[in-house]
Amino acid sequence: MPTFTLRKPPNPDATVTLTLALTAEERTRSRHRFETEDGQTVFLRLPRGTVLQDGDILEDEVTGSVVRIIAKPEQVLTVTAQTTLLLLKAAYHLGNRHIPVEIKANYLRLSPDPVLRAMLENLGLQVCEEISPFQPEAGAYGHHHPH
């Protein structure tokens, strides 16, 4: 069974043999076993605290075969606001809860949560459910997770 460890920067000559689509939560696990779409088993063994990013390259320490990580589209809430100030307030309130949040200039994104959705809507934000790659700010998973 191939065991992959993180290697950066990748060797430019390396050929990617496999692409692994992982959710945001899966990209935070240092020990993880995956079944690929064609039925291969892949085992990731990474330094504790590693958070894989979309596009990261991993290398099998024995065979040298290479895996590219991609952010798997998953259920998310995308939050938009009429004003930047309102979006900043929403980011503040979410940050207080130590949940993983993707922060962009024009939207916030988080995992579906009815309580947080209601709070955001009460603050006057637009919340829409969608399936999209989720790339939270680094460090969010180090804190206590409320779920």
What does the pLDDT look like over 123-147, one tens digit per residue? Answer: 999 999 999 999 998 764 544 444 4
Mean pLDDT along residues 44-68: 83
What are the structural domains of the chain?
Answer: 3-71 (2.60.260.20), 74-137 (3.30.70.790)
DSSP letter (8 states) at residue 106: S
Distance CA 67, CA 32 (A): 14
Strand spans (E) along 1-93? 3-6, 16-22, 31-35, 41-45, 57-60, 66-71, 74-80
Distance CA 102, CA 109 (A): 5
pLDDT of residue 22: 92
Distance CA 68, CA 87 (A): 33
Residues 65-107 have pLDDT tens digits of 788 889 999 999 999 999 999 999 999 999 999 899 999 999 9
Is-contact 97 146, C-beta < 8 A?
yes
Is-contact 90 68, C-beta < 8 A?
no
pLDDT at 13 over 70: no
